[in-house]
């Protein structure tokens, strides 16, 4: 187990900083993404739960940045001095979440992806300080997931109108989670984070882990998703050829428009439509009302 | 299971001679985790009293804060878990704010568990 910077090789430190930055930025950027739809929660108690999720996410971001400070970075500067395109959060949190159905689908699908990624690190990482810090994070993320699952079930069963809203959310948010786990193993030449044992599972293993609970939830409540369990292969399989183009304005996947992983990386690097607004919200501490 | 005493010396938790259905109810409540913390509702000293009469259970409890984000979840968990206890037919939950919950209600073992998961008191 690695405990301090002095014990790290240059390569280890670089790989660790990279994954901690992605983790911290993803936690941080979920806060502005979750903010507006949380204000539109259907009752006061639910709004309190949604706000608590945001508070937790900011705390998780703080933990990752605090760990980065041990590696010579400055938290203040990481949050306030970077331009929007310099943040490394997952692409999903570059998108605008426009209603409560999208918010709870994010809790149910995207927080689940966060749990899968962080549980692997919690269990397998060679970096002691991160492993210990994740005990609290993992427990809190379970609450977010439960909140998401509870509300996805409620909306799916309440009326045709709410079912359609949550289905529309799943339609664009499910494939974003699939992409989140990154390049398929057969296209990834080497994975430094895996080689340094900063994480323990490969991209495809993590994607399978996510699908093994996400797909049964959606099937249970009668929501469609482009994946199913294949008994012969004994694994979950996608019903489209990954990766495909995404129309981020219409929030629609173009399944008949195959692209390369290099195109995906370019799309990620260009950042999504809401990143500037979210970074401004965080850095200015203000919310633009009515825009 | 933890037995706690409030600052005003009001007994919180089961009495030493609790048995039968009441003991089963306390044991079940002690298995319900707080949705945010790695300890049970009983360990967190949220359950003040349990009364049972002819299959009806009254749970008197409090919350560490008035705006608890898991308020509904915890109600659902208590009702769901107690329904499975032999001898329990119906459950009422009475949320009270006196005595006021305080971290002084937590015993050393619980404090150690929280500390271990990175939660300061």
Using CA coordinates, name the residue in chain A closest to B65.
Answer: A48
Q: Find the chain B residues whose C-beta atoms sit closer than 8 A to any C-beta of A.
A: 35-38, 67-73, 116-119
Once rounded to an integer, what is the mean pLDDT over residues A253-261? 96
SS3 track for chain B: CCCEECCCCCEECCCCCCCHHHHHHHHHHCCCECCCCCCECCCCCCEEEEEEECCEEEEEECCCCCCCCCHHHHHHHHHHHHCCCCCCCEEEEEECCCCCCCHHHCCHHHHHHHHHCCCCC
Q: Residue B17: is its pLDDT beyond 80?
A: no
Residue B45 domain-assigned?
yes
Give the DSSP H or E segment for A230: strand A227-230
% of chain B beyond a pLDDT of 70 = 91
Give the count of alpha carbons within 13 A of A131, CB side only. Answer: 14
Number of domains in chain B: 1
Residue B2 domain-assigned?
no
- For every residue of A239-265, DSSP letters joined together read SS-S-EEEETTTTEEEEEEE--HHHHH
What the block records as the tokens of A98 is 């426009």
Q: Is A85 helix (H, G, I), strand (E, B) or coil?
A: helix
Average pLDDT along chain A = 96
- pLDDT for res B7: 44
Number of Cβ pairs closer than 8 Å across A and B? 39
Residue B18 domain-assigned?
no
- pLDDT for res B11: 65
Once rounded to an integer, what is the mean pLDDT over residues A66-75? 97
CB contact, 8 Å: A150 with chain B? yes
Residue B19 domain-assigned?
no
CB contacts, 8 Å: A138 with chain B? none
Q: What is the pTM of this model?
A: 0.90
CB contact, 8 Å: A133 with chain B? yes
- pLDDT for res A289: 66
For A139-151, how does the pLDDT look when each residue is reduced to its tens digit (9 = 90+)?
899 999 999 999 9
Q: Residue B1: is its pLDDT beyond 60?
A: no
Q: Which of A51, A135, A143 sits opposite B70 (nearest CB)?
A: A143
Distance CA A144, CA A111 (A): 7
Domains in chain A and their CATH numbers? 5-284 (1.20.1260.10)
Distance CA B13, CA A20 (A): 43
Q: Residue A162: is its pLDDT beyond 90?
A: yes
**Where are the extended beta strands (E) located within chain A?**
227-230, 235-238, 244-247, 252-258
CB contact, 8 Å: A132 with chain B? yes
Distance from the Cα of B16 to chain A's closest Cα (Å) equals 32
* Residue listed under structure tokens 């992983």: A261
CB contacts, 8 Å: A49 with chain B? 69-70, 72-73
Residue B12 domain-assigned?
no
Q: Which of A190, A216, A214 is nearest to A202 (CA)?
A: A190
% of chain B beyond a pLDDT of 90 = 69
Residue B11 domain-assigned?
no
- pLDDT for res A290: 58
Characterize the bridge pairing of strands A252-258 and B4-5: unpaired
- pLDDT for res B9: 47
Domain carrying residue B109: 41-121
Residue B59 domain-assigned?
yes
- pLDDT for res B5: 46
CB contacts, 8 Å: A53 with chain B? 69
| B50 close to B43: Cβ distance less than 8 angstroms | no
Q: Which of A132, A142, A143 sits opposite B118 (nearest CB)?
A: A132
Mutate to test the interface with B, among A43, A44, A52, A151 (most CBs of B within 10 A): A52
The CATH number that applies at residue B82 is 3.30.300.130
Q: Residue B6: is its pLDDT beyond 50?
A: no
Distance from the Cα of A128 to chain B's closest Cα (Å) equals 14
Q: Is A173 helix (H, G, I), strand (E, B) or coil?
A: helix
Q: Residue B8: is its pLDDT beyond 80?
A: no
Residue B89 domain-assigned?
yes
- pLDDT for res B107: 93
% of chain A beyond a pLDDT of 70 = 99
Q: Which of A66-75, A153-162, A265-274, B33-42 has the lowest mean pLDDT?
A: B33-42
CA quadruple A37, A141, A46, A180: dihedral positive or negative? positive
């Amino acid at each position: 187990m690695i405990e301090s910077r002095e014990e790290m090789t240059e390569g280890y430190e670089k790989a660790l900083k990279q994954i901690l930055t992605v983790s911290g930025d993803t936690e941080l950027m979920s806060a502005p993404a979750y903010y507006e739809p949380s204000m539109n929660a259907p009752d006061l108690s639910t709004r309190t739960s949604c706000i608590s999720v945001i508070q937790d996410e900011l705390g998780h971001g703080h933990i990752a940045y605090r760990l980065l400070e041990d590696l010579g970075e400055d938290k203040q500067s990481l949050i306030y001095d970077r331009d929007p395109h310099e943040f490394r959060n997952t692409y999903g949190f570059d998108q605008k979440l426009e209603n409560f159905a999208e918010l709870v689908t994010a809790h149910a699908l995207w927080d689940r992806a966060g749990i899968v990624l962080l549980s692997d690190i919690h269990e397998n990482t060679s970096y002691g300080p991160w492993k210990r810090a994740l005990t609290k994070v993992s427990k809190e993320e379970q609450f977010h997931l439960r909140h998401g699952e509870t509300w996805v079930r409620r909306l799916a069963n309440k009326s045709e109108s709410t079912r359609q809203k949550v289905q529309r959310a799943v339609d664009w948010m499910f494939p974003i989670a699939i992409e989140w786990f990154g390049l398929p193993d057969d296209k990834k030449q080497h994975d430094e984070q895996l080689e340094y044992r900063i994480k323990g599972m490969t991209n495809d293993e993590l994607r399978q882990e996510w699908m093994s609970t996400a797909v049964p939830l959606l099937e249970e409540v009668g929501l469609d998703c482009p994946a199913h369990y294949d008994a012969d292969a004994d694994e979950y399989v996608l019903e489209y050829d990954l990766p495909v183009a995404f129309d981020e304005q219409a929030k629609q996947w173009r399944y008949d428009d195959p692209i390369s992983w290099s195109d995906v990386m370019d799309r990620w690097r260009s950042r999504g439509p809401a990143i500037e607004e979210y970074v401004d919200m965080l850095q200015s501490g203000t919310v633009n009302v009515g825009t | 299971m933890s037995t706690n005493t409030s600052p005003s010396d009001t007994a919180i938790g089961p009495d030493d001679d609790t048995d039968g259905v009441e003991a089963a109810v306390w044991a079940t409540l002690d298995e319900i985790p707080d949705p945010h913390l790695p300890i049970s509702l009983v360990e967190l000293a949220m359950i003040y009293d349990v009364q049972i009469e002819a299959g009806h259970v009254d749970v008197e409890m409090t919350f560490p804060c008035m705006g608890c984000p898991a308020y509904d979840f915890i109600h659902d968990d208590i009702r769901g878990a107690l329904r499975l206890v032999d001898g329990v037919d119906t459950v009422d939950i009475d949320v009270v704010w006196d005595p006021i919950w305080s971290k002084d209600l937590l015993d050393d073992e619980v404090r150690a568990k929280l500390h271990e998961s990175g939660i300061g008191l």
